Structure 1
Amino acid sequence: MVSQLNVRRTILIVEDEPINRKMLENIVKDSYDVIFATDGLKTIDVIRENSDVISLILLDLMMPDMDGYEVLEFMHNDKILKQIPVIVCTTERESEVRCFKLGAVDFISKPFSHPMVIRARIDRAIELREGRGLIHATQNDALTGLLTHDFFMEYSHFRDMHYATPGMDAIVFNVNRFHLINELQGRRAGDDVLIKIGDSIKHIARDRGGISGRGGADEFLLYIPSGSDYDELLKEIGRGLEDILNNSRVYLRMGIYRNVNTDISVEHRFDKARVACNSIRGNYNIQSAIYDEDMHDKEALNERLINDMARGIKERQFTVYYQPKYAIQGDRDSLYGAEALVRWEHPELGLLRPDKFVPLFEDNGLIHQLDHYVWDEVSKQVGEWMVNYDLKIPVSVNVSRVDIGAPNLEEEIFTTVQNNWISPGMLNLEITESAYTENSDQIINVVKSLRERGFAIEMDDFGTGYSSLNMITSLPIDILKLDMQFVKNIHEGNKDMKMVELMIDIARSLKVKVVAEGVETKEQYDLLKAAGCDVIQGFYFSMPCVPKEFEKLIEKENGELQREVEEALQ
């Protein structure tokens, strides 16, 4: 496949004899660009300066200052330079074994004869070298026919080596919520979408002199000369997708790293494009984003947070705040429980809210370590409150999609509560609705096991995902938690209120409690209470607070309970 690039490679001829240099140049100049060196020291400088473009070295052994053996040894000890194939040109047949041990790939005897044979051996050495870089990657994706991720990266690297293109763009495409296509329309429909996108990507690459590939799942890669109209690219890819899905729309998003820096690796260039692409994930109003300095700064910050996380856990820089929950359907509003919210008291960056690091840790597979830390901290705190105040306060903690895939998750959480001498019922486990829809079978099995252990399960952000009613009835849950986006706009008789009432009716039919979050006003409180909502949380009652502040609410609740007991005894 390398030969299909149809590009001129560069050969370094190392020869101090002018006649021999000219003979070798005449043999290869029709198909290769040629650079020269006349002694060993000069050779090292030339190789260092041109290592990214040299495809092969024709090396004389006998030279002034530094001989060919020393050049071979120098290259052999360098991880990058040792990859360049070297054909030794010499009259000394007895030196072959020594040269092979130092990394030479072939020999050409002096005086030079049979030019066609020499050319064939040079061609073959280059072909084998370039093939080695690709041999570990399967060339084409079985579904779309595009280059696979590894082959795409290697191929793009060779393209940069051999094409003098003034500027290139690295582009990453994704499909927003692609998993829902598989869930709602079937895997075949999802495959049809990927195939159609793949065909469009191939045409774009062919028309613009670029390279196309599939990064995996619903990610596509495009490496093309700068100057394309990005909106037109999206339109070109989107044409025909609606017909595939019976007029359902496919939402594409695109991240672009323009006029790439060729001093960084191809993989890193596409990492930057991916950062841009991910910056608009879930935003249906914006379909493309260009990597810029702000993203660079954010990328640098994210890298720092990732590197600092382990130390932060070890030094207990993460603090758990508690958002109070109040039951509102009795004669009075009573403290029902709390939701655990983590903050990072970074020693140099100050107090960081969870939106600054939780999504980052989720994307990088690190969230399980932080979640386990929070589970343990909450379990300890709940145990202390039970002892100090003789009051059971169940606290909700997050269980992320990453946690669901952890081996022995049920045993891990159960051991955590046991070690802190509390019952599983004191730790409510929150799982987002979108997590259920992404991998429903696995999550349902895990959740069933957790409920059997005694844990209560909350479906968080209910109403923001795409669960079918049939699916909801089969989910093992104890509490539905209404997303704050529904609550913030409710007014008497408006559409948002009707939607909230509908979701509360669904919860009643499932015989599960309803928690509304983000309640801030008296009007919201009154409407939710009238609609039959069981529990609310939000600034109407209290902001998230540290344990000492939350304990004041516990003491107040105990005082109310004591007063009720005394009144009952009178």
Structure 2
Amino acid sequence: MNKFMTTGEMKRRVLVVDDEMINRELLGAMLSQTFDIAFASNGKEAMEALTAPEADYSLILLDLLMPIMNGFEVIEQCQSDEHLRQIPIIVMTSEKSAEVRSIRMGAADFITKPYDMPEVILARCERIIELSEGKSIIRLTERDKVSGLYTRGYFFAYLQRLITRINTPMDALVLNIDRFHLVNELFGREEGDTVLSNFGQLIAELLNDIHGIACRSESDTFFIFCERQDSYDDMIESLQEKLSDLTKARALRLRAGIYSCENESDHPEVWFSRAKAACDRIRGRYGSLTARYSNELYERTVFHERLIGDVQEAIDRHHLVVYFQPKYRIQGDRPVLGSAEALIRWIHPELGFISPGEFIPLFENNGLIRKVDHFVWREAAAQVKRWRDQYGITIPVSVNVSRVDIFDPELEQKLCDILEESALEPDDMMLEITESAYSDSADGSVEVVNRLRDRGFKIEMDDFGSGYSSLNMLTEIPFDVLKLDMQFIRRMLLDDKSLRLVELIMDIARYLEIPVIAEGVEEIEQLNKLKEMGCDIVQGYYFSPPLPADRFSGLIEKECQNRREEHDND
């Protein structure tokens, strides 16, 4: 039988189950012009048809009184199967009590025997299929296919209706799995989806206890709306323990932001944006699992929104200013000014000085750091050219390449264009890439760094020792200079363990034949110890804080004077 209607639409398939041949023939005649009809003479045959590999039924017409397996047993078996439960059943009977029982068991409708109104039967079948398919579409949009929780859109639509009937104090929770991308990168996306599916199940199991609903908002972020709890610490700690058992990536960490839903005039999405702000606040704070939204956090959020809105004007009007901190080579008779690091400062016309520790992490999270970095690269290159033209010497400058820049497909071309504008060589602008940028996506970072080195750029690994995989990375990641994290320098004269760690790193660098830059040097004792260990280059407040370009020029003039005097003495 042709399964396609004249319009080209595929016919729905209907299974007619009746032990009377005459009834099967009657129903087949009534429905075959509209549907593709299959037949079964008892419940056992029906179940075999329904569970066959090629089975794809849109409706079951089911007689109740049959030999071998009756209609009630068929309904019961269908309701116990997740797939078969979705197929609507219309029972065929002449007994009123049977109609009620079958509807209570899960049947969608009933047709009374004898079949004396074909057009009514056809219309009812079409209507039941239409309603069932509508429900199926809703189910597809209702549930996230990975986690099994609600989708974000359905969650907020449902929540908007739900809150009108709630009198209990409620909370909005945002859960995030830190460093989840490691699962996908190390073990593959299939493993990542398995972790998300199992974690979604863990959340679903909690919902009855906390009287809540939940959704997966995006990749590794989940929303929960639930009755207010005095504390969520135990719940989050329990989830953290179970999360650790779900994957081999032990670096995963759960964090949660909480907002108490007090203002009913706010849209639920506002509640969750505030809970997310609280969650984001503890990113990287490994001693904290939860944070609550507060007035202080609200003011901070408003402040951050102001910074985001003002960054382009800050670039255009040069409220963002590039400072330079000198780096000195210390292994000769005297410290020699050899290079500098470019550092960004924001002098806001209304808010005053804004700490880089405030806006750089913010811009790293939202991607604006690429715009700031590009501004710094261009300003630094132009300044190197001005100094060279003025003093006749080149002071190479290190600029930061953030983890966001690493994934910019135009990174190499942008850097080369900037060098060309200022007539510089790759040696004149060194690139600092933080250890964390490497560890976030090691394979991708290595590929990018190798291409940059092929272009002639020198790569400094910044903040070495601040991450969790440093020693392993030394053998796998290409770089030209190792920049020791300042925390090592601050502690090295305070205890033997810290000092030994610095000595060990110096030994490793010497073995790898790469120079070491020690940053954060503030005392003569630190300088002397580093020189004794064989450290090549030092920067820090002992020599100079970061300076604007005009004041840094004074250091260049002094260096030029020293070189002239040394030349004259020779």
TM-score scaled by structure 2? 0.72
Cα distance between partner residues in 1 of 2:136 and 2:331: 72
Q: C-alpha deviations, 1:203-260, integer Å up to 9, x for none?
A: 2223222111223333222111213521121133134344456795753221111134
Cα separation, 2, equivalents of 1:303 and 1:529: 45
- Following the alignment from structure 2 to structure 1, what is the Cα–Cα distance between the partners of residues 481 and 448? 17
Distance in 1, matches of 2:396 and 2:308, equals 31
Q: What residue number does 1:328 align with?
A: 330
Q: Which residue of 2 is the match for residue 479 of structure 1?
A: 481
Residue 278 of structure 1 is matched in structure 2 by: 280
Partner of 2:122: none
- Are the equivalent residues in 2 in contact too, given 1:226–1:259 (CA < 8 A)? no
Contact 1:241-1:249 within 8 A present in 2 as well: no
Of residues 541, 545, 570 in structure 2, which corresponds to 1:539?
541
Aligned to 1:15: none
The residue type equivalent to 2:466 in the other structure is: T
> Which amino acid in the other structure matches residue 449 of structure 2?
V
Q: Which residue pairs with 2:354 in the alignment?
A: 352
Query: What's the secondary structure of 2:285's corresponding residue?
Result: coil
514 and 247 in structure 1: CA distance in 2 versus 1, 3 angstrom threshold: closer
Q: Which moved more, 1:499-508 or 1:382-391?
A: 499-508
Task: Identify if the C-alpha distance between structure 1 residues 262 and 506 changes in structure 2 by more than 3 Å, giving closer, same or farther.
Answer: farther
Residue 517 (structure 2) aligns with = 515
SS of the equivalent of 1:357 reads helix
Which residue does 2:117 correspond to in 1? none
- SS of match in other structure, 2:446: helix
Greater Cα radius of gyration, structure 1 or 2: 2
CA distance in 1, matches of 2:558, 2:417: 32
Q: Residue 94 of structure 1 corresponds to which residue in structure 2?
A: none
1:358, distance to aligned residue in structure 2 (A) = 1.3
The match for 1:154 is: 157
Match of 1:394 in 2: 396
What are the Cα deviations for residues 97-119 of structure 1, in whole angstroms up to 9, with x where unaligned? xxxxxxxxxxxxxxxxxxxxxxx
Q: Secondary structure at the match of 2:337?
A: strand
Output the TM-score relative to the length of structure 1.
0.72
For the pair 1:450 / 2:456, whether they are aligned, the reply is no
Contact 1:456-1:478 at 8 Å conserved across structures: yes
Shift in Å at residue 305 of structure 1?
Answer: 0.9
Alignment CA distance shift 1:455-1:169 (3 Å): same
Shift of 1:448: 1.4
- The reply on whether 1:367 has 2:369 as its aligned counterpart is yes
Question: For 1:289 and 1:152, how far apart are their aligned partners in 2?
Answer: 23
Q: Which residue of 1 aligns with 2:68?
A: none
The answer to whether the 8 A contact 2:179-2:252 is kept is no
In structure 1, what is the Cα distance between the partners aligned to 2:359 and 2:470?
Answer: 31
Q: 2-side partners of 1:448 and 1:138: how far apart?
A: 45
* Per-residue Cα deviation, 1:408-464 (whole angstroms, up to 9, x for no partner): 110011101111111121111111111111112222221112112221111111111
Helix, strand or coil for the counterpart of 2:150? Answer: coil
Note the alpha carbon deviations across 1:531-568, whole angstroms, 9 max, x for none: 22211111111111111111111111111111221122
Choose the corresponding residue for 1:440, options 434, 439, 442.
442
**Structure 1 residue 196: Cα displacement:** 4.3
* 1:276/1:554 CA distance change after superposition, 3 Å: same
Question: Partners of 2:198 and 2:387 in 1: how far apart?
Answer: 58
Contact 1:211 1:222 in 2 (8 A): yes
* Structure 1 unaligned regions, length at least 5: 1-120
Identical-residue share of aligned pairs (%): 44
**Is structure 2 residue 143 aligned with structure 1 residue 139?**
yes
- Is contact 1:170–1:260 with CA below 8 Å preserved after alignment? no
2-side partners of 1:307 and 1:199: how far apart? 39
Secondary structure in 1 matching 2:342: strand
Provide the C-alpha distance between the structure 2 equivalents of 1:521 and 1:204, rounded to a whole number of angstroms: 55
Closer/same/farther in 2, CA of residues 323 and 150 from structure 1, 3 Å limit: farther
Residues 306-352 of structure 1: CA distance to partner in whole angstroms, max 9, x if unpaired?
11111111111111111111111122111121111111111111121
- 2:462 maps to 1:460: yes
Counterpart contact for 2:329–2:538, Cα < 8 Å: yes
Q: What is the one-letter code of the residue matched to 2:505?
A: M
Q: Which secondary structure does the structure 1 equivalent of 2:493 belong to? A: coil
CA distance in 2, matches of 1:131, 1:294: 45
Distance 1:449 1:249 in 2: 29
Identify the residue that residue 304 of structure 2 maps to in structure 1. Answer: 302
Correspondence for 1:421: 423
Report if the CA contact (8 A) 2:521-2:527 is conserved.
yes
Q: How many angstroms apart in 2 are the aligned matches of 1:312 and 1:333?
A: 36
User: What is the alpha-carbon distance in structure 2 between the residues aligned to residue 167 and residue 527 of structure 1?
Assistant: 61
Alpha carbons 1:463, 1:482 under 8 Å: kept = yes
Q: Which amino acid aligns with 2:217?
A: G
Query: Contact conserved, 1:358 with 1:367, CA < 8 A, in 2?
Result: yes
What residue in structure 2 maps to residue 488 of structure 1? 490
Is the contact made by 1:140 and 1:148 (CA closer than 8 Å) also made in structure 2?
Answer: yes
CA contact (8 A) 1:205 1:223 kept: no
Q: What per-residue deviation string (whole Å, max 9, x for no partner) do you get for residues 27-47 of structure 1?
A: xxxxxxxxxxxxxxxxxxxxx
Letter in 2 for 1:335: L
Residues 485 and 469 (structure 1), Cα distance of their counterparts in 2 relative to 1, 3 Å cut = closer
AA aligned opposite 1:152: F
Q: Distance in 1 between matches of 2:459 and 2:325?
A: 18
1:51-92 deviation digits (Å, cap 9, x = unpaired): xxxxxxxxxxxxxxxxxxxxxxxxxxxxxxxxxxxxxxxxxx
Aligned residues of 2:183 and 2:249 also touching (Cα < 8 A)? no
